[in-house]
Amino acid sequence: MKRLLTVTEVASDLRVSKMTVYRLIKRGNLPAVRVGRGYRIKAQTVEQYLTNESTPTKTEG
């Protein structure tokens, strides 16, 4: 079974507020599964989100 994270765990890992995670879910930027009254997010999904949303850094050259 894949590891599922709570909104609180994702917020802590990303160092953002829980509200930010809820907004990402609502906008469809961060796919989540509704479980009861809460959401669960696959750890792999968070990794993919970070990879896709990363901005390249400028290098001197």
Residue 11 has pLDDT above 60, yes or no: yes
- At 20, the pLDDT band (50, 70, 90 cuts) reads very high
Contacts 24+ apart (CB under 8 A), 9-16: 10/41, 10/46, 13/46, 14/46, 14/50
- At 54, the pLDDT band (50, 70, 90 cuts) reads confident
CA 41 to the chain's CA centroid: 7
Structural domain spans, the chain: 4-53
Residue 4 has pLDDT above 90, yes or no: yes
How confident is the model over 7-34, as a mean pLDDT? 97
Residue 61 has a pLDDT of 54
